Amino acid sequence: MGYSLDFGWLAGAAGVIARGAAMTLLLIGVTTLAGTFLSILGAAGKRNGPRPLQAAIGVYVEVMRNTPFLVQLFFIFFGLPSLGVRLDPILAAMLAMTLNMAAYTIEIVGAGLDAVPRGQTEAALALGLRPRQVFIKIVLPQALKVIYPALTSQIVIMMLESAVVSQIAVRELTYEADMLQARTFRAFETYFVVTMVYLGLSMGLRRLLVAGGRLALGAGVS
Amino acid sequence: MIEFTFWDIVRNLLLAARWTVLLSLAAFIGGALVGLVVLFFRIAPNKWVKRIASGYIALFQGTPLLMQLFLMFFGLPMLGLRIEPWTAATLGLTFFASAYLAEIWRGGVEALPRGQWDAGASLGLHYLQELRLVILPQAFAITRAPTVGFLVQLIKSTALTSIIGFEELVRTSNAINNATFEPFKVYGLVALMFFVMCFPLTQYARRLEQRAGAR
């Protein structure tokens, strides 16, 4: 075999890996906020919007869920400039991730909205709240509480999926790993270390989201 | 420069789509076989065996598939195996699929009432017979919808093998795009082809789910 593992390069690479991880976290942070917001609008639109909007959201969800994220990313980054929309890699990555995540979370948020009993809306309307207030103050918080575990899983999945955006030269964790292995010629060791960093990130992110959910939405969220 | 007509692009993409289909099938079948072994470990009575299987599943579900493919591609040659993109892609996706399928099926096994095991035991079946004759057929039946759903995810995941150099749909489309400079058309067509492969399966999974819900 004659191959021995060598992790000697690791000490000099810690800073680069940390920077890549920070970019990955930034991407998923922005995506989480924008994607959740978009999916609340989408889920509400799919239930109460005009017919054409409902149909359009339905088509959007099906198209995004049945095509690979990598192709969506290439379409946005390479395809949109031919329509005159030129995005820098980071923006393109954030846009692609947000649009992809929203397609999944629209269904999740929708399920949450359906789970809130109709009586809640009726009671709030009877108390004189305007429809928008009813949605924001009464229905939405209860729906979010129900779907929070599913939302957490989707965020972690999206974080792992974000490794792909290295392909359009966003300097996140995978991109830094590619650069490192090109410099150290230690491909296996480099990808092994970075894989473990991803494992740590996904476990940490899940813990953080669960703790945050407990704090923001009250106990009972697992 | 060679001129590409629209039909040249479509024909080349369709030829490449064969490999996407073939890889998906190979990974699904391989993943089902390995996944079955992982499932046996995962539901074994022994605590340590169970823990090993949980660790295996957590590892594959907690790291990006792209990293798993890279490790396969760069790691296997160190074991003295000559590795090509096709082998790395198939093996990588097989292990990836095995972890997810084992977890899906475990859900099915645990959803069965305890009485099914007891009934099997009282009929004099030993552990493996219980699994084969009583537990697994029911577990597979109630997890058919998520299994088909995962197949859709697996088909989409084959796109990542383009990055380690496997000539499937996306890699071919990159090459065509580099020659034609028509990314909108090329990637649009690729998306359409994936959609045609995945959408019927998604609908099928949805029907299975509704049928299960109605029961």
Give the pLDDT of residue A147.
94
| B102 vs B139: CA distance, rounded Å | 11
For chain A, what's the residue count? 222
> Whole domain around residue B178: which residue ranges?
6-214
* B1, part of any domain: no
- A191, B71: Cβ pair inside 8 Å? yes
| B151 vs B35: CA distance, rounded Å | 13
Mean pLDDT, range B146-172, rounded to an integer:
96
A179-210 per-residue burial string, b: 16 or more CB within 10 A, e: under 16: bbbeebebbbbbbbbbbebbbebbeebbeebe
Across the interface, of B59, B62, B152, the residue whose CB is closest to A66 is: B152
CB-defined contacts A:B, below 8 A: 118
* B208, part of any domain: yes
Domain at A12-214: CATH code? 1.10.3720.10
Q: How many domains does one find in chain B?
A: 1
* B31, part of any domain: yes
Instruction: For residue A204, give how far its alpha carbon lies from the nearest alpha carbon of chain B (Å).
Output: 11
Across the interface, of A68, A198, A202, the residue whose CB is closest to B156 is: A68
Mean pLDDT, range A82-96, rounded to an integer:
92
A98-120 per-residue burial string, b: 16 or more CB within 10 A, e: under 16: bbbbbbbbbbbbbebbeebeeee
Q: Could you tell me if B213 lies within 8 Å of chain A, comparing CB atoms?
A: no
Q: What is the ipTM of this complex?
A: 0.92
Across the interface, of B71, B173, B187, the residue whose CB is closest to A192 is: B71
Looking at residue A4, what DSSP letter applies? Answer: -
| B107 vs B211: CA distance, rounded Å | 18
Q: Could you tell me if B113 lies within 8 Å of chain A, comparing CB atoms?
A: no
Q: Could you tell me if B153 lies within 8 Å of chain A, comparing CB atoms?
A: no
Above 60 in pLDDT, residue A101? yes
Above 60 in pLDDT, residue A191? yes
What pLDDT, in 10s, does the model give residues A129-173?
999 999 999 999 999 999 999 999 999 999 999 999 999 999 999
| A69 vs A159: CA distance, rounded Å | 12
- B62, A202: Cβ pair inside 8 Å? yes
Is B85:B164 a contact under the CB 8 Å cutoff? yes
Query: DSSP letter string over B125-184?
Result: --HHHIIIIIIHHHHHHHTHHHHHHHHHHHHHHGGGGGTTT--SHHHHHHHHHHHH--HH
Above 60 in pLDDT, residue B138? yes
* B201, part of any domain: yes
Above 60 in pLDDT, residue A216? yes
CA B171 to chain centre: 19
Is A172:A27 a contact under the CB 8 Å cutoff? yes
* B51, part of any domain: yes
CA B139 to chain centre: 18
Above 90 in pLDDT, residue A20? yes
Q: Could you tell me if B83 lies within 8 Å of chain A, comparing CB atoms?
A: no
Question: What is chain A's Cα-based Rg?
Answer: 21
| B181 vs B187: CA distance, rounded Å | 11
Instruction: For residue A62, give how far its alpha carbon lies from the nearest alpha carbon of chain B (Å).
Output: 8
| B81 vs B78: CA distance, rounded Å | 7
| A222 vs A209: CA distance, rounded Å | 10
- B191, A167: Cβ pair inside 8 Å? no
Give the pLDDT of residue A185.
84
- B71, A65: Cβ pair inside 8 Å? no
Q: Taking all residues of chain A, what is their mean pLDDT, rounded to a whole number?
A: 92
Backbone angles phi, psi at A123, to 5 degrees: -65, -40
Query: Residue B161 sits in a domain of what CATH number?
Result: 1.10.3720.10
Chain B interface disruption, residue of A24, A70, A186, A201, most B CBs within 10 A: A70
Instruction: For residue A72, give how far its alpha carbon lies from the nearest alpha carbon of chain B (Å).
Output: 8
Q: Lowest-confidence range among A181-185, B38-42, B171-175? A: A181-185
- A79, B79: Cβ pair inside 8 Å? no
Q: Where are the domains of chain A?
A: 12-214
What pLDDT, in 10s, does the model give residues B98-119?
999 999 999 999 999 999 999 9
Mean pLDDT, range B184-210, rounded to an integer:
95
Backbone angles phi, psi at A56, to 5 degrees: -65, -45
